[in-house]
Amino acid sequence: MKALVLGGYGAVGAPVVRFLRSYGHTALAAGRDAARADVRIDLREDRLHGYREALAGVDVVVNASGAEDPALIAAATGHGAAFVDATATASYIEAAERLDPQAPVLLSVGLVPGLTNLLAADLAASAPGPAFAPAPIDIAVVLGAGDAHGAAAQEWSLGLIGADFPDPVTGAPVRNFTGPRMFRIPGLGRRRLYRADFSDQHTLSRDLGVPVRTWFGLDSRAATGALAALTRLPAAIRPRIPAGLHLPGSDAWTLLAQAAHGSVLATGRGQSRGTAGVTALAAEVAVDLEPGVHHLHRVLSLADAAGLPCVEVERTVPDVGGRH
Which of 255, 249, 267, 283 is CA-nearest to residue 13?
A: 283
Q: What is the DSSP letter of 115?
A: I
pLDDT at residue number 319: 40
Neighbours of 112 (CB within 10 A): 24
The CA-to-CA distance between both ends of the chain, in Å, stands at 47
Instruction: Decide: 311 and 279 in contact? Cβ < 8 Å.
Output: no
Which of 70, 49, 48, 57 is CA-nearest to residue 28?
A: 57
Q: Which helix (H) or strand (E) holds 216?
A: strand 212-218
pLDDT at residue number 211: 96
pLDDT digit string, tens, across residues 22-34: 999 999 999 999 9
Instruction: Decide: 192 and 146 in contact? Cβ < 8 Å.
Output: no
Sketch out the chain's domains with CATH numbers: 2-109+276-300 (3.40.50.720), 112-270+305-315 (3.30.360)
pLDDT at residue number 317: 46
Please give the Cα distance from 153 to 150 (Å, whole number). 5
Phi, psi of 294 (to 5 degrees): -125, 160
pLDDT at residue number 127: 83
Instruction: Decide: 296 and 204 in contact? Cβ < 8 Å.
Output: no
170-174 contact pairs (CB < 8 A, 24+): none
Rounded (to 5) percent helix, strand, coil in the chain = 35, 25, 40
pLDDT at residue number 232: 85
Q: Apex CA 159: angle with CA 155 and CA 165, to 5°?
A: 140
- Stretches where the chain sits below pLDDT 70 are 129-134, 236, 239-247, 317-324
pLDDT digit string, tens, across residues 82-129: 999 999 999 999 999 999 999 999 999 999 999 999 999 999 998 876
Phi, psi of 13 (to 5 degrees): -60, -40
pLDDT at residue number 54: 95
pLDDT at residue number 147: 80
pLDDT at residue number 249: 76
Rg (CA), the chain: 19
